[in-house]
Amino acid sequence: MLQARTARTLTLDAAAGGPAHLSAASGLVRLRGQLAVVADDELHLGLFEPFGHEPGRVFRLFDGDLPPEHLARKAAKPDCEALLVLPPFGDFGHGALMAMGSGSAPARHRGVLIALDAAGGPHGPVQPLDLTGLLGPLRERIADLNIEGAFVHGDALSLLQRGNSARAFNARIDFVWSDVQRWLAAEGPAPAPSSITRYELGALDGIPLSFTDGAALPDGGWVFSAAAEDTTDPYADGHCAGSVVGRVDARGVVQACERLAPAMKVEGLVATAPKDAIELLMVTDGDDRGQPALLLGARWGAGPTGDGQERFSC
């Protein structure tokens, strides 16, 4: 097992009457000097110091308010599960931050694009995105579409499809990044995927594992998080037996997988790769709006044998 440590809780500055914390943290990216976290049941993201304890600040993504009652909120939320940093393109000279709805229902085809400034922080007005052109055709090809992670990897924008425990179709869906750029700039049509690669991830305690996020590595490979959540529906939550992290090489082959301790539902991660190790930061979703999500940290030895700890086989 790979032991994760708690780096901080995701509390927010509620002085302006906003929420006191993020609970359902679902996407994580590292900006210069801060972390951005999106929650799938909110209309904003949180900006945090990585290892401080000061409350984070709120950055509004969508106008309006969500109902407090659970089922009504679930039906109305944009369900932003994926958060990624886009490299500079077009009018975004310093890159952009993009949040994406999961696509698990027609109402969840919303997203936003936010310019980054020279210091790497979100800047300027939020640009709403209608993701129907990108996600709608995928719903016709993939039953129970549920996009949970996204990252740019060379000339590919990669989406991670999260299967459910009844039909655990996990996949990496690649689009040509230059085609996506043109679409985002309204200079071309929504692109079709260049490839869809299915992954078999195994199970924890008899519950199938499904992707929850991913991040590119400098060597051409990538890492992912996956959770074992007992649900038959991409719309519904279920009991979670825990999570794993995995490493995929540049050929697309899973090289290593490690069960995380303690057992939590990890839904977002970022990774850096100093020599002989992968440094991970991860955020959790406890499916309880009353409890703040956690930022976890772990150091994972590189390579198939890495740090010599017990391995879990995906």
Taking the chain (314 residues) in runs of 10, the rounded mean pLDDT of each run is 95 80 95 93 91 90 90 89 96 96 91 95 92 94 93 96 82 98 95 96 92 96 94 64 96 96 96 90 90 95 47 56
The pLDDT, as a whole number, for residue 301 is 85
pLDDT at position 70 is 85
Cα gap 231→228, rounded to integer Å: 9
Report the side by side order of strands in the sheet with 122-130. 80-86, 96-101, 110-116, 122-130
User: Pseudo-torsion of CA 117, 118, 120, 124, nearest 10°?
Assistant: -10
Paired with 58 in beta bridges are 46
DSSP secondary structure letter of residue 106: G
| pLDDT score, position 14 | 80
Stretch (H or E) spanning 212? strand 210-216
For residue 306, the model assigns a pLDDT of 39
Helix (H, G, I), strand (E, B) or coil at 193: coil
The pLDDT assigned to 236 comes to 56
> Residues 6 or more apart from 11 whose CB is under 8 A from it?
20, 21, 55, 56, 292
pTM: 0.92
Structural domains present in the chain: 2-301 (2.120.10)
Instruction: Supply the pLDDT for residue 302.
Output: 55
